[in-house]
Structure 1
Amino acid sequence: MTLTGKVAIVTGSGRGLGLAYAQELARQGASVVVNDVVESAADAAVRAIADAGGAATAVVAPVGPTETAKQLVDAAFETYGRLDIVVTNAGVLRDTVLWKMSDDDFDTVIGVHLRGTFTIVREAAIRLREQGEGGRIIAIGSPTGQRGNFGQTNYAAAKAGIVGMVRTWALELKRASITANAVIPVAATAMTATVPYFASAVAADEKGEPMPRFFRHDLGFGTAADVAGLVAFLASDEAAGVTGQAIGVGGDRLQLWSHPEPVATAYREGGWTYDALVESFAAEVGELQSLGETFPPLPDELQPPQA
């Protein structure tokens, strides 16, 4: 139990991936502040952790407002006397194409994912620096934030912003021995359950059966439990030297995402005029960067049934 004596906050942990993170942190010995907007889900998560021999308390509140951030951090100190780990997982989806996306669609997703991550980490950083014993910030990103995805302007912006904040926090919090990393999970969730491509994998997960190897190995797509191990590792003393990173995990696959770096550089005396770009852009830049994620064809035996 590598996290014995540690205290963790996990936002959006009443169900799904967040619940898996909270349960694994508790299994490793941490006391957990569970958070959800649905009281019954938060209470059920606390009971599940307690039934497994762990310690947990719940804060039922929407992530985003500074008041919620203060409430969560206060709950950690008032209940357990300290704070060591923050996992920012809470999120919502409002998917639609750009020209149909309303202000509310955009603001809601940015408010929960991006502002919610910012407010809780800001509050935690203040208290962790005062505590003076280091700490762990683990923010949950998404492949959409790394690559983009059709119909997810708001979600892509929020998740890309989270990774940008993590890189900045790693610099700002280094002297306080507080690490900051982003986890990029690829797992069966309520969102992937609606995608026919993943139907057989999600169905296997719901039945408690192993997912087909094609999903776990070839796609790096797995269960919530497959992601939870990385979260617990990053929360541990063993990961003290890991900070400012975006790390992907899913199924049997672990990935370290690169920081954005130039892939082509060219110089021209006097600068790049319009005419010079028309003449030389393609030759100087070369192959452009790809967009979105592409998946290989499903094997015949994993094809979803035809309607």
Structure 2
Amino acid sequence: MSLAGKVAIVTGSGHGLGLSYAQELARQGAAVIINDVDPAAVEAAVSSIAAAGGKAAGIVAAVGSTEAAKALVVGAVENFGRLDILVTNAGVLRDKSLLKMTDEDFDLVINVHLRGTFTCVREAYAYFKENDIRGRIIAIGSPTGQRGNFGQTNYSAAKAGIVGMVRTWALEMKRAGIAVNAVIPVAATEMTKTVPYFAKAVEADERGEAMPDFFRKDLGFGTADDVAGLIAFLASEEAGGITGQAIGAGGDRLQLWSHPEAIASEFNDGGWDYATLQERFPFAGNQQSVGEKFPELPEELRPEPAK
């Protein structure tokens, strides 16, 4: 139990991925602050950890505001005496194509995911510096933030922004010995349950069976528990030298995402004016793809046709 004596906050941990992260941190010895907007979910999550022999306390709060971030850090200190680990997982979805997306849809998702990550990390960092704690910060990204996805302007912007902030924070927190990373999970969630492509994987998981190898190995798609081990590892002392990274986890696969890098360069004497570009745009043959491209499902894993 390498996290014994450590204290963690996991935002959005009343259910789903966040709950799995919190339970794994507790399993490895950390005391955990459970956070959610649903009091019943918070109570059930705390009880699940206590029943397994772990330590947890709950704070009901909507992540986004500075006040909520302060309440979480204060709650960790009041309940368990300190704070060592922050996992910013809280999020909401308001998926709509661009012309149908309202200001409210956009602002809510940005506030919870992006601003909530910012305010919580700022508060935790201040506590770490003031108390000379070489803390661990783990922010949750998404493949959508890396690649884009139809109907998720708000969500993709927030998740891309989180990875950008992590890269910056790794520079700013290096001297204090604080490691900060982004995790890109690929796992069965309430959202993926509605996608026919993943139906056979979700059905197997709900029956308590292992997902077919195609999902776990070819796609790197699995359960929340498949991601939780990475969360606990990045929270540990052993991971102190890992910072500023975006690490994907899903099924049997672990991935390291690169920085966006220039893949081709062309030079033209005098620069690239409008007329020159009209005559010769140099990158016509190697423009980059957008969105995720999934391989065709094997016949035996295709969803049943609708009746």
TM class by shorter chain equals over 0.9
Residues 178-193 of structure 1 correspond to what in structure 2 (within 5 A)?
178-193=178-193
Residues 70-85 of structure 1 correspond to what in structure 2 (within 5 A)?
70-85=70-85
Q: For 2:272, what is the secondary structure of its paired residue? A: coil
**What's the counterpart of residue 67 of structure 1?**
67
Q: Distance in 2 between matches of 1:248 and 1:277?
A: 38
Superposition deviation, residue 279 in structure 1: 2.1
Q: For 1:145, what is the secondary structure of its paired residue? A: helix
Matched to 1:126, the amino acid is: A
Q: Distance in 2 between matches of 1:255 and 1:280?
A: 37
| Residue 293 of structure 2 is aligned to residue 294 of structure 1 | yes
Matched to 2:214, the amino acid is: F
Superposition deviation, residue 286 in structure 1: 4.0
Q: Which runs of 5+ in 2 are unaligned?
A: none
**What's the counterpart of residue 122 of structure 2?**
122
Q: For 2:304, what is the secondary structure of its paired residue? A: coil
| Residue 306 of structure 2 is aligned to residue 303 of structure 1 | no
**What's the counterpart of residue 14 of structure 2?**
14
**What's the counterpart of residue 41 of structure 1?**
41
Q: For 1:139, what is the secondary structure of its paired residue? A: strand
Matched to 1:208, the amino acid is: G
Q: Is the 8 A contact 1:264 1:285 kept in 2?
A: no
Q: For 1:138, what is the secondary structure of its paired residue? A: strand
Q: Is the 8 A contact 1:266 1:285 kept in 2?
A: no
Q: For 1:176, what is the secondary structure of its paired residue? A: coil
Q: Distance in 2 between matches of 1:203 and 1:39?
A: 29
Q: Is the 8 A contact 1:3 1:30 kept in 2?
A: yes
Matched to 1:260, the amino acid is: P
**What's the counterpart of residue 233 of structure 2?**
233
Q: Is the 8 A contact 1:264 1:286 kept in 2?
A: no
Q: Is the 8 A contact 1:13 1:35 kept in 2?
A: yes
Q: Is the 8 A contact 1:222 1:251 kept in 2?
A: yes
Superposition deviation, residue 214 in structure 1: 0.4
CA deviation profile, 1:115-151 (whole Å, cap 9, x unmatched) = 0000000000000111102101100000000000000
Q: Is the 8 A contact 1:204 1:211 kept in 2?
A: yes
Matched to 1:94, the amino acid is: R
Superposition deviation, residue 285 in structure 1: 6.2
User: 236-245 or 266-275, which moves further after superposition?
Assistant: 266-275
| Residue 175 of structure 2 is aligned to residue 175 of structure 1 | yes
CA deviation profile, 1:49-83 (whole Å, cap 9, x unmatched) = 00111000000010101111000000111111111
User: 132-141 or 264-273, which moves further after superposition?
Assistant: 264-273
Runs of 4+ aligned residues of structure 1 deviating over 3 Å after TM superposition are none
Q: For 2:175, what is the secondary structure of its paired residue? A: helix
Superposition deviation, residue 217 in structure 1: 0.3
Q: Is the 8 A contact 1:186 1:249 kept in 2?
A: yes
Q: Distance in 1 between matches of 2:285 and 2:265?
A: 10
Superposition deviation, residue 275 in structure 1: 1.2
Q: Is the 8 A contact 1:37 1:61 kept in 2?
A: yes
Q: Is the 8 A contact 1:179 1:243 kept in 2?
A: yes
Q: Distance in 2 between matches of 1:285 and 1:98?
A: 27
Residues 153-302 of structure 1 correspond to what in structure 2 (within 5 A)?
153-282=153-282, 286-302=285-301
Q: Distance in 2 between matches of 1:133 and 1:121?
A: 14
CA RMSD of aligned residues (A): 0.8
Matched to 1:287, the amino acid is: N
CA deviation profile, 1:32-58 (whole Å, cap 9, x unmatched) = 000000000001000000011100000
Q: Distance in 2 between matches of 1:131 and 1:202?
A: 44
Q: Which runs of 5+ in 1 are unaligned?
A: none
Matched to 1:205, the amino acid is: D
| Residue 176 of structure 2 is aligned to residue 139 of structure 1 | no
Q: Distance in 2 between matches of 1:262 and 1:172?
A: 25
Q: Distance in 1 between matches of 2:195 and 2:268?
A: 48
User: 19-28 or 127-136, which moves further after superposition?
Assistant: 127-136
Distance 1:146 1:167, change over 3 A: same
Matched to 2:304, the amino acid is: P
Q: For 2:24, what is the secondary structure of its paired residue? A: helix
Q: For 1:86, what is the secondary structure of its paired residue? A: strand
Q: For 2:182, what is the secondary structure of its paired residue? A: strand
Q: For 1:33, what is the secondary structure of its paired residue? A: strand
Percent of residue pairs bearing the same amino acid type: 71
Q: Distance in 2 between matches of 1:271 and 1:73?
A: 52
